[in-house]
Structure 1
Amino acid sequence: MEEEQSEFRRWDQLHPDLLGLIFINLSLQELLTVIPPVCKSWSKVVRGPHCWQDIDLFQWSIRWKPHQLDRMLRMLVTRSSGSLCSLHVAGLRNDSIFSFITENAVSLQVLRLSGSLISDSIVKQTAQRLSTLTFLDLTCCPKIGAQALEAIGKYCKLLETLCRDMMFLDVLGKVEVEDKANAIAGTMPRLKHLDLGFHLISTEFVLNILSRCHQLERLIINVCVSVKLDRNFLTEAYPNLEISLMTPVLSSDIF
């Protein structure tokens, strides 16, 4: 009987890496409230980096107040101990928490920050810490401008996907300056997916990007009412490019 029992290991004696692989399938609430009281070894695992390589706080971001979100982010990013690869959060309200993330998440590959109010200047200052990024979502981040985009392009050489959808009210009455197009086209040559929905951009803006981002596979410029491109021209000039273009279409003779 003792020999048979010795073939099995107790759950609390499993290697932390194995426990981490199991625990990552649980919800955030379960990780923070259910697992820690079970035993010391399980509590130690969820307090370490094993469960925090992928942090998704999107749904919680909507419910929490800004100071609660900041506190949770600081705790979980600290627990990741530099192993964080993917972070999904919405509605960051200050630059200090973004700076903290970039300083302590040096292995980030995927960063989603939709609806955040981080400034152009803080992104410019910290972009060099995000050199491992391949996917960046800055949807509805109204304070992000050309300087931030240029810094991202300069330091994030592995970046393949950039999402910059905006809300209509955020761009209403504003004029998109061409330096944003130059920042993307001139510093992000490896982009494969670019999303620029609801921008007040010009046709020249888009053509500049198309002419310089040669690795683009998908371009989304939906509801950019000032962009007037002929679909036949696009198909002939960029046969390998998938374009989502919900804008007025002109005849091909303008080209």
Structure 2
Amino acid sequence: MESPSSSSSSSSSTRSEQYRNWLELPRDVTASILQRLGAIEILESAQKVCMHWRNLCKDPSMWRAIDMRNHEYWDLDHLEKMCRHAIDRSSGQLRDISIEYFGTDDLLKHITHSSSQLRRLRLVSCYHIMDEGLNEAAAKLPLLEELEITICLFSKEPLMALGRCCPLLKSFKLNRQGIRSVHIECDEEAVAVAESMPELRHLQLFGNQLTNDGLNAILNGCPHLESLDLRRCFNVNLSGDLGKRCAERIKSLRRPDDPTDDYEFAAEIDDGGSFDEDDPSGMSDIDYVSLSEGYGHYEFSGESDLSYDDFSDYDFYDFGDYYFG
């Protein structure tokens, strides 16, 4: 018969095997796990767990990709400071960055001045980035291969600048919401793409107001296109010769009325028939309200407990319940 002490020892051994020490994982495995959290979770939570994780989170290689997409109630100034801190930690190794809601001209300048090797840039609902800011940034992105601009308001000039300054650009997403109730036609963005981005392989124009003329310009100016997403582009009619041309040229074609189940944002708005004819984007005041209601612009009643102005690199001794020597 097994003695009580033997049984207790066996049980303890079993528990030890079930609950392995995460600190014993190889460094590259731990890094891979942490990188899946995203920049916000790393800075706000993961790096506080222990000194081993903190030291790993300060490695520049951890910040080659910075995902600052945000679906919570946040102080946008706090997010921008956090993003700058993450960019500084990359020590020039940044290749891929996604920012949502809190982008500004100054932040974009900081990104381009700090990251000469940037390959992918994703801007979502960044209403505080102006044409001038994007124009200036374009000149510092010669290696850019993928660009996404979603629910932002830019004229054709910065788009032309991006095309001219980013000769390696292969994938471009310029997305809005589809508007069925108002007939607005605008081919300026399509023409900008056609005239300045001849090497594109993948193009998404979700909710764009281009017409068949704009689409023909794209097909003429972008001969290497392999995929084209025209969902909610309600001014495009793909019947007849144009539809046949697209089918013959494009390997992966998403048509205006194709399903939007895999689209990350709300697909359509109904603006009630009001728009500003002086706005080349076709976006009215009511559209701005609809976008902010549908895409998470929030009111904040208080400041975060953490002040990035007070600390240069999170190297402080008392952070909540954690101690860093």
TM-score after normalising by structure 1:
0.79
1:218 maps to what in 2?
227
Cα distance change on mapping 1:223 and 1:29 into 2, 3 Å:
closer
Q: Please say if residues 185 and 211 of structure 2, whose CA atoms lie closer than 8 Å, have aligned partners that are also in contact.
A: no
Q: CA deviation at 1:176?
A: 1.9
Partner SS for 1:59? coil
Question: Is structure 2 residue 39 aligned with structure 1 residue 44?
Answer: no
1:202 maps to what in 2?
211
Relative contact order, higher structure (CA 8 A, sep 6+): 2
Question: Is structure 2 residue 155 aligned with structure 1 residue 121?
Answer: no
Aligned partners of 2:40, 2:160: CA distance in 1, in Å?
38
5+ long unaligned stretches in structure 2? 1-21, 258-325
Q: Please say if residues 246 and 253 of structure 2, whose CA atoms lie closer than 8 Å, have aligned partners that are also in contact.
A: no
Could you report, residue by residue, the CA deviation over 1:148-168 in whole angstroms, capped at 9, with x for unpaired residues?
100100111111111111124
Q: Alignment partner for residue 168 of structure 2, among 158, 181, 197?
A: 158
Give percent identity, aligned residues only.
27
Deviates more, 1:229-238 or 1:81-90: 229-238
Q: Which letter does structure 1 place at the counterpart of 2:65?
A: D
Higher share of residues assigned helix: 1
Cα distance change on mapping 1:114 and 1:231 into 2, 3 Å:
farther
Question: Is structure 2 residue 106 aligned with structure 1 residue 96?
Answer: yes
Q: CA deviation at 1:20?
A: 4.1
2:65 maps to what in 1?
54
Q: Please say if residues 54 and 85 of structure 1, whose CA atoms lie closer than 8 Å, have aligned partners that are also in contact.
A: yes
Aligned partners of 1:67, 1:34: CA distance in 2, in Å?
19
Q: Which letter does structure 2 place at the counterpart of 1:81?
A: S
Deviates more, 1:131-140 or 1:29-38: 29-38
Aligned partners of 1:205, 1:236: CA distance in 2, in Å?
14
Cα distance change on mapping 1:165 and 1:152 into 2, 3 Å:
same
Partner SS for 1:113? strand
Q: CA deviation at 1:199?
A: 1.7
Map of 1:131-150 to 2, 5 A cutoff? Answer: 131-142=142-153, 144-150=154-160
Q: Please say if residues 204 and 230 of structure 2, whose CA atoms lie closer than 8 Å, have aligned partners that are also in contact.
A: yes
Cα distance change on mapping 1:27 and 1:73 into 2, 3 Å:
closer
Cα distance change on mapping 1:41 and 1:21 into 2, 3 Å:
same
Q: CA deviation at 1:195?
A: 1.0
Q: CA deviation at 1:197?
A: 1.7
1:8 maps to what in 2?
none
